[in-house]
Structure 1
Amino acid sequence: MSASVISPVNPSSSADALASRPRALIDSFNRRIDYLRVSITDRCDLRCQYCLPEDFKGFEEPANWLTHDEMARLIGLFVGFGVAKIRLTGGEPLTRRGVSELATKIAALDGVTDLAISTNGTRLARHAAELRQAGVRRLNVSLDTLDAATFKEITRRDRLQDVLDGLDTAHRVGFDSIKINCVVHSQSNEEDIARLLDFTMAKGFILRLIETMPMGDSGRQYKHVNLNEMGARLGERYGLVATVEHRGPGPARYWATRDNIPALGLITPMSQHFCASCNRVRLSVDGTLYLCLGQENQISLGTALRKGATDDELRQLILAGIAAKPERHEFTTAPERVIRVMAKTGG
């Protein structure tokens, strides 16, 4: 499927379209879209080798970044369509000023039941308390290893202790859930991952293993491994059992302890894709709505907003975008298709 950019619908048809708009966003494959991931910056203070080249310069110009008020306006329109789960992402979202203020605006929206943030953790110690107070209830923290030298090799930065300090602070201020996201590929060391699982189980966190995806040149240089097989090995080693009880808004499948505490999650976009149950879309820092992580289908909500589009006209564009959401990604059949880096859309 070729990339698709949705153009604004004729405003004269606005009244009819809005009068008949659904209470929920249902795409053409009968999937309900109730989860919005919002990248509030594509900048990051790490340079993970599978995500960003060391010398990457292709970031969005700050003049094109949506303001927090503009983001809150667009998010509010999605919430009006029944989107109840919002996740703030990046790049690294905590590199942008005012994240807690934006979170406060989102948490106050009638209909938001789940507000979360994904972070690399380097600045979490500084911001954890204010995020919790602002209404963020769940955290995902990227961490691929507990070995300082390996961490520096992967991220090209010596920041492991900052991440560990951030996790300690986040745990202390009492988030409802803290999950550790670990990207796994053919060069990953399973014993290193096992040590990470020891750490997360001792802390009461959940470790989630994610198959690397061929996004941009950085992502395509790594070969994915089948996490179903690794998950089974780790599950047997740690006495875990597969469960469907702890499914969240995302695609992870979980393994739990014998006393039913979730401990290990698997996200398998390559070996066992979950497109048939996809419930999410992504909004980038410039207001581009991406309909699929593994496709280039998009709609320029930010451009329309800054050209003076009314809320009704923006709702029309959202509906047109959801109608054009593709059936599935093409990571396995056309891995060269997605040229944008992961930081562009926030995973």
Structure 2
Amino acid sequence: MIPSELVDTFGRVHDYLRISVTDRCNLRCVYCMPADGMEFEPDENILSIKEITEVVRVMADMGVKKVRLTGGEPLVRKGIENLVSAIAGIPGIDDIAMTTNGIFLARKAQKLKEAGLNRVNISLDTLKADRFSLITRGGDVQRVLDSIAACQQVGIEPIKLNVVLMKGINDDEIEDFLQLTIDSQLQVRFIEYMPIGHNDLRWKQSYLPLSTVLERCHHLGWKVAASHHVRGNGPAQTFRIEGAKGSFGLIHPVSDHFCETCNRLRLTADGNIKPCLYWSDEFNVRKCIGNDDAVRELFSRALHIKPLNHEMAKAFVDESQTHVPTVRRMSQIGG
């Protein structure tokens, strides 16, 4: 019998599906892609809008309520507004979010809002123009700042800024990002550098535990309290500085992983179900689309082998791991 709910062997109920709509990106961020780019999947290997919609429809019947569209960069996907609209029309889906680098968001914000996009996460690892260009290998930070303003204007909220914290690269901007939360309703989320697709020396040299953020608040004399009123805060520990309009979150998969409460599955742009971000296990669902029972069964199989945690901390200290880490880059998985 095929289960009617997405429950794994540890009793975790999965109601959240992250979908990569493309492996392509207009930037080449240092922690996401190699400097010379990548060999992207040919168009015929990428799930169509209709195929993605069919998968979400079946998943909604199994209890999925939240969908996040990722990439690569989702806004380079042709017809992305049509996909948002199609997903918004599926009964049971009550929250649609997107993670984007923000470069193309300003000109699409209104259409995305009208299509049914509820909220957005914008990757922004620095507020400095020259540093942004270095981290993204050529990006223009002003376009991202304009996109934040555009989302505020059309009413997409909450707006979250994803900041991958890297030692010696952007850790001197922690205070600047925290100041944003004091002055505006933005939600800044500091994320630990993860060894996705490249467990190498550079990652370890750049890794910084997020306890650094709270230490900086203490050093500045800011009073900080836990905040439990942030919609869609997911794995983040969320805090608010006393008197601040916004909040900040800490996502620390390495130093203090959040796997025990994981409620998410991932679907890659080429149609592979990933039960865990870090491990290599994948199940290609494309051949099943059109057969609802087969889709349900494959997702159930994926959940059955989902481990209790990802063991990234072991990678940092070179301990042996119980599963095989993925060789895919973050841009190929969807984050």
Please, what TM-score do these two structures have when normalized by structure 1?
0.88
Q: Mind listing any 5+ residue stretches in structure 2 that lack a counterpart?
A: 317-323
- The structural deviation recorded for 1:162 is 1.1
Q: Cα deviation per residue 1:88-125 (whole Å; 9 max; x = unaligned)?
A: 00010001111111000111111111110000000001
Deviations 1:24-73 (A, max 9, x none): 21100110111100000011111111110121223222110111010000
User: Could you tell me how far 1:229 is from its partner in structure 2?
Assistant: 3.4
In structure 1, what is the equivalent of residue 146 of structure 2?
165
1:247–1:204 distance in 2 versus 1, CA, 3 Å? closer
2:33 corresponds, among 52, 57, 64, to: 52
| Structure 2: distance between partners of 1:188 and 1:323 | 40
In structure 2, the CA distance between the partners of 1:152 and 1:270, relative to structure 1 (3 Å rule), is same
On the 8 A contact 2:199/2:315 being kept in 1, the answer is no
- 1:42 corresponding residue in structure 2: 23
8 Å Cα contact 2:274-2:282 kept in structure 1:
yes
Q: Higher mean Cα deviation, 105-114 or 259-268?
A: 259-268
User: Per-residue displacement from partner, 1:160-203 (whole Å, max 9, x unpaired)?
Assistant: 11111111111110112100000012223433122122234423
C-alpha separation in 2, matches of 1:54 and 1:132: 34
What secondary structure sits across from 2:314 in the alignment? coil
More deviation, 41-50/56-65? 56-65
Q: Relative to 1, partners in 2 of residues 1:93 and 1:244: Cα closer, same or farther, differing over 3 Å? A: same
Correspondent of 2:198 among 193, 217, 230: 217
Q: Is the CA contact 1:53–1:218 (under 8 Å) kept in the aligned structure 2?
A: no
Q: Which amino acid aligns with 2:34?
A: P
Matched, 1:174 2:155: yes
Aligned residues of 1:240 and 1:256 also touching (Cα < 8 A):
yes
1:1-347 equivalences under 5 Å are 17-18=1-2, 21-22=3-4, 24-217=5-198, 221-223=202-204, 224-234=207-217, 237=220, 238-246=222-230, 248=232, 250-258=234-242, 262-305=246-289, 310-334=291-315, 337-347=325-335
Q: 1: CA distance between counterparts of 2:244 and 2:299? A: 39
In the alignment, the residues of structure 2 paired with residue 196 and residue 103 of structure 1 have an alpha-carbon distance, to the nearest angstrom, of: 30
Greater alpha carbon shift after TM alignment, 120-129 vs 182-191: 182-191
Contact 2:181/2:245 (CA < 8 Å) preserved in 1? no
- CA 1:327–1:247 in structure 2 vs 1: closer, same or farther (change >3 Å)? farther
Matched letter for residue 341 of structure 1: R
Give the share of equivalent positions with the same residue, in percent.
Answer: 38
1:245 to partner: Cα distance: 4.2
Measured after TM superposition, the shift of residue 261 of structure 1 is 5.2
Paired with 2:21 and 2:296, the residues of 1 have a C-alpha distance of: 21
Structure 1 residue 260 displacement after superposition: 7.9
Equivalent residues of 2:174, 2:213 under 8 A apart: no
How far residue 277 of structure 1 moved from its aligned partner, in angstroms, is 0.5
Equivalent pair of 1:36/1:85 in contact (CA under 8 Å)? yes
Cα 1:230/1:200, change in 2 over 3 Å:
closer
SS in 2 for 1:217: coil
* Shift in Å, 1:218: 8.0
- What number of residue pairs does the alignment pair up? 325
Once residues 247 and 121 of structure 1 are traced to their aligned partners in structure 2, the CA distance between those partners, rounded to angstroms, is 20
3-state SS of paired residue (1:230): helix
Which residue of structure 2 lines up, in the alignment, with residue 4 of structure 1? Answer: none
Q: Is contact 2:185-2:245 (8 Å) kept?
A: no
Q: Give, in angstroms, the shift of residue 233 of structure 1.
A: 2.5
Three-state SS of the structure 2 residue aligned to 1:248 is coil
Shift of 1:159: 1.3
CA shift at 1:219, angstroms?
Answer: 7.3
